[in-house]
Structure 1
Amino acid sequence: MTLDEKLAQLVGFWVDQGDEVVAPMAGEMASSTAYAEATVHGLGQLTRVYGTRPVDPIERADWLWREQRRLVGETRLGIPALVHEECLTGLAAWQAATFPTPLAWGAAFDPDLVEEMGALIGASMRELGIHQGLAPVLDVIRDPRWGRVDECIAEDPYVVGVIGSAYVRGMQGAGVHATLKHFVGYSGSQAGRNHAPVHAGPREIADVFLPPFEMAVRDGGVRSVMNSYAEIDGMPVAATPAYLTGVLRDEWGFDGTVVSDYFSVAFLQTMHAVARDRGEAAQLALEAGIDVELPTGDAFTAPLAARVRDGQVDEAIVDRAVRRVLTQKEDLGLLDETFETPPAEIDLDSPAHRAVARRLAEESVVLLRNDGVLPLDAPRRVAVVGPNADSAEALMGCYSFANHVLAHHPGVPLGFEIPTLAASLTAALPGAEIAVTRGCDAEGDDRAGFAEAEAAARAADVAIVAVGDRAGLFGRGTVGEGNDVESLELPGVQRELVERIIATGTPVVLVVLSGRPYAIDWALAGEGAAAAALQAFFPGEEGGPAIAGILSGEVSPSGHLPVSLPRSAGAQPYSYLHPVLGGMTDITSADSTPALPFGHGLSYTSFARDGLSVPVSVEAGGTFTATVRVRNTGDRPGADLVQLYARDVHASVTRPVAQLLGFARVELEPGAGATVSLTVPTSRLAFTGREGVRIVEPGAVELWVGPSCAERETETEIQIVGEVHRVASADARLVTVAVER
């Protein structure tokens, strides 16, 4: 291969970019290179063929197959291009299914269902000739003010790793390579601001941010990783070999490809200012371990070629990346593909897609409070109020095709069915008179609709008030990439609307449709509280029917908070994984205690958990089994989330006051019980010791099971004995679960 042919394999090209500004700074970074010129020597990747603008998938597939045949037949080496797309809430393409956002995956605590979803998404992508998906996001939530929280799974690294790895297995089982985002530390940004510096120390990086990625690499077998935009302690990740090579490849044994987040190579010059020009940026990124520049070749083509030819860059580094790229294409079957017959028809939103979307939406809705008003008891008149009451967009996340792309194409239909909450309630309550009124917008200070909303509520037996977010990007919307906030109050005048409706005296069911948790403690307790409150994190195309099913009683809620419900923005950043001094103490007047804790979630039935039992001791580095009995003590079927927590009583460094070790969803009929066994490797209690090495220390560990991290319903203690155990690559990382009924 010539140098130009090698470099051509290390870049993407955004064929449809043009005026479609759907990525950060895309307009400013747009390449002036014509497509024909860019593919003379071949091409590594095609960027978002289906996901940049609304295109008919069959027509676009026909174009793609012809273009691949051209690359095979008209370039010297005949190597096809790898095609990548966004797929965080389903394939981001017109007419494709839109699933719940990752924060809803976390709320469902159901890895098997997420794996099933990943397989469906991957199958759709593979049928359209797509080879790589830019998901899942494995950033651990640290600050809900950050706009990209709706792309994240949870504030617990283990939950993120287990559920993220399930998505990887599902997608890759369908023949599409998943891509972990954003390696590493991205969500720890200063004050929750996108692209802000990260001030995490090496212990926080090792014990909080890295574990989900390690699980997805070692246990999930992921084939691609994307770098973070972040700079950690002044070091941009895109130019840091210690992460992209030292940890990822040398320690974990990752042998796939590392792709750059969009424009992050150029950002080494334009935003981080650690490179003088694009050529130096390319050298820094390539030497650090980035193999492919996305979405275009601003740095890895002519600027990098010049530095190789003048001797500043060793061509062996280029060869290393090219070998990885060609290996990936070979693994995907691209090198033998003839591209003879594009799909003649395809259903991107099949009954199977919708069934999984419905189940995941139902399992993800969290019942925060209920004074008995739910489930609804055949109301005659229902007021459905709020900016999210009759909005399809309010059900979808930032990286849904509708909010990410179609927002730039007003008038283009969504291309799939997505019933609003109001429409779904009308269907679920056929005997009720439904009055729908907006009240106010998601943003702004217009109160003109308040009076109509209050009148509708006064005339009703119950008022469903749907508030929250409108997802978008970079100032368009209230949450999403670039939409960071300083306050965690509901956007605009929504709180005032809720309080006015509550003041009518009609029982109010608050439904929060959002991409982040908001400070709504005022609606959860006290005289001004709502009668009931539900939290739904962008539940997708079947979210309306799912919520309506829960409100009507057809479905019993079973979601649990994957992130603490904050008391205020001033308490951020906050994590339930805090040491003693990270919580409320007698030496500060500021209370960071959340309004509701991690793991909280109510049901229409009740559960009792007792008899937590473990061995007296376990060897450091060994494994122990915890068993607990759970019973459905109510009169309705339901699913309990068994949550096993631990606290390291004394350690050589400060440890969290609570840490989730493992979890299990258990479906139980009224009066039924089950014994749940969780087999726990002591590596779940590992931490980075004083010497910077992850260890398991001997000592006492408190264990408990309860309805959240804050409640010890049944508890015991285990002693870790023996010598300090240094965690090895072969150590187990996953808790296994067995349920005996």
Structure 2
Amino acid sequence: MKKFSIYYLVILIFFCACNNQSRKSEYPYRNAQLPVSQRVADLLSRMTLNEKIRQLDMWSGGEVANIVNHDTNSFSAEKVAEVIDSTGIGSIHDFYPMSASEVNKIQRYALTHTRLGIPVLFIEEGLHGYNGAGATYFPVPLELASAWDTSLVHHVGRVIGTEARAHGIEMILGPVLGLARDPRWGRVEETYGEDPYLDACNGVAMVKGLQGDSLQDDNAVIAEPKHFAIHSIPEAGSNTSPVSIGEREARSAFLYPFEEAVRVGGAMGIMAAYSEDDGIPCVDNHWLLTEVLRKEWGFKGFVLSDLGAIRMSLEDHHVAADTSDALAQTIKAGLDMQFYDFKHPTFERAIKKALNEHLLSEKDLDRAVGDVLRVKFILGLFDHPYIDTSLVSKVFHTPQSQQLALKAAQEGIILLKNDHGLLPIKKTIRSVAVIGPLATSTYLGDYSADATGISILDGLKERAGKMLKINYAQGYGPDSLSEAAQSVLISKAVGISNRCDISIVVLGESERMDGEGKDRAHLDLDSRQK
């Protein structure tokens, strides 16, 4: 009798699960023939408060999978079940799957085990190449802009979008559309330069390249211009410092590239900066996120905070009384999703507290949730949630993409001077001295994961073959090296240079001096390079 009872219980559970899936399929939001606005409204009307709140939150890859170094090593059914549960989640970042199969497994769980079957949005970095292992990397955006070729930038965007979506990634955090007006700022290399028009043209090209012909295609991703806005001229060039400019300058210069990216490019994502403009944090700026972005420009996507930006309004800008107040202010201003700001239980409790204390209205909450859901519908995640796992072998790091990367590098090179016609190197030259440790650097720029390129020294050796003798000297060492040891390196470099027909001295900023969080107080060369 006990055996029969267990048998009937299993049958009952199976029947209930099937019945639940059947009911979900009948809901209007499941009908692909209905307008997206109608589907969003129907789904919102069926959601519990917990389900809504979790759509505004982001989880890290390590919370749902086993991560080794940078990329997902294996899928974890236990972690996925614990995190997604029956309620669902908004997005996952820092996941970087080796193939789309891991993404498909998570989507399958979200669709079949949660009450309403809301898919997950996968978001990753891709500033100048999808940031997963083995991807095709292109020159940093500053060099791409130096090519003065928006068609080239568009093709680069197509490759990034194609390689990302083949892995199941649906949104890329880029491009950076700040104007590079202060060279002390460490993130200048991430921008398309200082000119608003050129910046806007390249921004539109990249957005259109990433988003492709249709966001439901398996080679297109959401583009998310950042950092909105006026983030690139912080006081003293320090990344998180305040900005103070008037509306006229903001609109004519710093907002213009974003406006074009939204109006012309059709960008469906925006990242709000963690800086403040005229005393108002960007994540709390209603004029910026609602009046300008949505009402003036007609933005239809969703706004994500920069990492920790909402928390900074509480802990750094000191404009909020507590976590509930910080979240209420940012959602009312027009922001939609947090980026690792607060731990998930804290985030959920704070939103509920904000609602209970009337700091936040249910209408404001629904607007934010609706923005996130709209993007998921537009991406086709409700109707076509799974990615063909064979795509990676067909489109990832192809010879054609590598050739495009080479072309972009070649077109972006700038020759500032060529005194006495030194270049190209004449056939009478037989020996070349290459000086400086940067000649051996394979660093590809910030946001390039663990990828490496070909160093200047190796490139010269490969190109020269047996025609030229390439001699290398380090020239200087790290700061920890003694003065006597530094003198030995300099003497060796001078000796090699004197024995060769010409010398190529490689100078510039090392990896430790350039990139996010590596702002500078001056523009001098490293003292050891002088």
Q: TM-score, normalised by structure 2?
A: 0.82
Match of 2:317 in 1: 272
In the alignment, structure 1 residue 434 sits paired with structure 2 residue 480: no
SS in 1 for 2:506: strand
Match of 1:45 among 70, 91, 94: 91
Superposition deviation, residue 84 in structure 1: 0.6
* 1:602-621 correspondence to structure 2 within 5 Å: none
Match of 2:27 in 1: none
SS in 1 for 2:415: strand
Q: Distance in 1 between matches of 2:364 and 2:129?
A: 35
Superposition deviation, residue 341 in structure 1: 5.2
Superposition deviation, residue 36 in structure 1: 4.8
Q: Distance in 1 between matches of 2:459 and 2:309?
A: 42
In the alignment, structure 1 residue 354 sits paired with structure 2 residue 399: no
Contact 1:8/1:39 (<8 A) preserved:
no
SS in 2 for 1:468: coil
Q: Which amino acid aligns with 1:9?
A: Q
Superposition deviation, residue 445 in structure 1: 6.9
Q: Describe the shift of the 1:283–1:96 C-alpha distance in structure 2 as closer, same or farther (beyond 3 A).
A: same
In the alignment, structure 1 residue 455 sits paired with structure 2 residue 504: no
CA deviation map 1:102-152 (0-9, x unaligned): 110121111100000000110001111000000000001111001111111
Superposition deviation, residue 328 in structure 1: 0.5
Match of 2:124 among 78, 82, 85: 85
Q: Distance in 2 between matches of 1:241 and 1:282?
A: 13
CA deviation map 1:234-258 (0-9, x unaligned): 1111101000001101111111111
Match of 2:304 among 259, 262, 282: 259
Q: Distance in 2 between matches of 1:45 and 1:319?
A: 17
Contact 2:119/2:385 (<8 A) preserved:
no
Match of 1:319 among 354, 360, 366: 366
CA deviation map 1:704-733 (0-9, x unaligned): xxxxxxxxxxxxxxxxxxxxxxxxxxxxxx
SS in 2 for 1:483: coil
Q: Which amino acid aligns with 1:335?
A: F
Q: Describe the shift of the 1:296–1:272 C-alpha distance in structure 2 as closer, same or farther (beyond 3 A).
A: closer
Contact 1:128/1:343 (<8 A) preserved:
no
Contact 2:211/2:223 (<8 A) preserved:
yes
Q: Describe the shift of the 1:35–1:338 C-alpha distance in structure 2 as closer, same or farther (beyond 3 A).
A: closer
* 1:75-474 correspondence to structure 2 within 5 Å: 75-173=114-212, 174-295=219-340, 298=343, 300-339=347-386, 342-343=389-390, 345-346=392-393, 348-371=396-419, 372-378=421-427, 379-393=429-443, 396-402=444-450, 414=451, 418-430=453-465, 431-441=467-477, 447=486, 448-471=488-511
Contact 2:272/2:304 (<8 A) preserved:
yes
Query: Which structure 2 residue ranges, 5 or more long, are not aligned?
Result: 1-46, 71-78, 213-218
Superposition deviation, residue 297 in structure 1: 5.4
Contact 2:118/2:382 (<8 A) preserved:
yes
| Between 9-18 and 448-457, the greater mean CA deviation after superposition | 9-18
Percent identity over the alignment is 36
Q: Distance in 2 between matches of 1:154 and 1:340?
A: 36
Superposition deviation, residue 38 in structure 1: 4.0
Q: Distance in 2 between matches of 1:445 and 1:198?
A: 39
Contact 2:177/2:258 (<8 A) preserved:
yes
CA deviation map 1:382-413 (0-9, x unaligned): 111112111112xx1111112xxxxxxxxxxx
Question: Over aligned residues, Cα RMSD in angstroms?
Answer: 2.1
CA deviation map 1:567-620 (0-9, x unaligned): xxxxxxxxxxxxxxxxxxxxxxxxxxxxxxxxxxxxxxxxxxxxxxxxxxxxxx
* 1:21-60 correspondence to structure 2 within 5 Å: 36-40=81-85, 41-50=87-96, 57-58=98-99
Superposition deviation, residue 279 in structure 1: 1.3
SS in 1 for 2:136: coil
Q: Distance in 2 between matches of 1:237 and 1:482?
A: 19
Match of 2:26 in 1: none
Q: Distance in 2 between matches of 1:433 and 1:125?
A: 42
Q: Which amino acid aligns with 1:376?
A: I
Superposition deviation, residue 469 in structure 1: 1.9
CA deviation map 1:680-727 (0-9, x unaligned): xxxxxxxxxxxxxxxxxxxxxxxxxxxxxxxxxxxxxxxxxxxxxxxx
Q: Describe the shift of the 1:443–1:182 C-alpha distance in structure 2 as closer, same or farther (beyond 3 A).
A: farther
CA deviation map 1:305-361 (0-9, x unaligned): 222244331111111111111110011110113537534753632212211111111
Query: Which structure 1 residue ranges, 5 or more long, are not aligned?
Result: 23-33, 403-413, 472-476, 496-741
Q: TM-score, normalised by structure 1?
A: 0.59
CA deviation map 1:530-554 (0-9, x unaligned): xxxxxxxxxxxxxxxxxxxxxxxxx
Q: Distance in 1 between matches of 2:392 and 2:516?
A: 34
SS in 2 for 1:451: helix
CA deviation map 1:177-216 (0-9, x unaligned): 1001011010110010110011212222111111000111
Contact 1:105/1:360 (<8 A) preserved:
yes
Contact 1:445/1:492 (<8 A) preserved:
no
SS in 1 for 2:193: coil
Q: Distance in 1 between matches of 2:80 and 2:526?
A: 43
Q: Distance in 1 between matches of 2:367 and 2:211?
A: 24
Q: Distance in 2 between matches of 1:314 and 1:168?
A: 33
Name whichever structure is richer in helix by fraction: 2
CA deviation map 1:277-304 (0-9, x unaligned): 2211111110010011124654642211
Q: Describe the shift of the 1:441–1:224 C-alpha distance in structure 2 as closer, same or farther (beyond 3 A).
A: farther
Contact 2:234/2:240 (<8 A) preserved:
yes
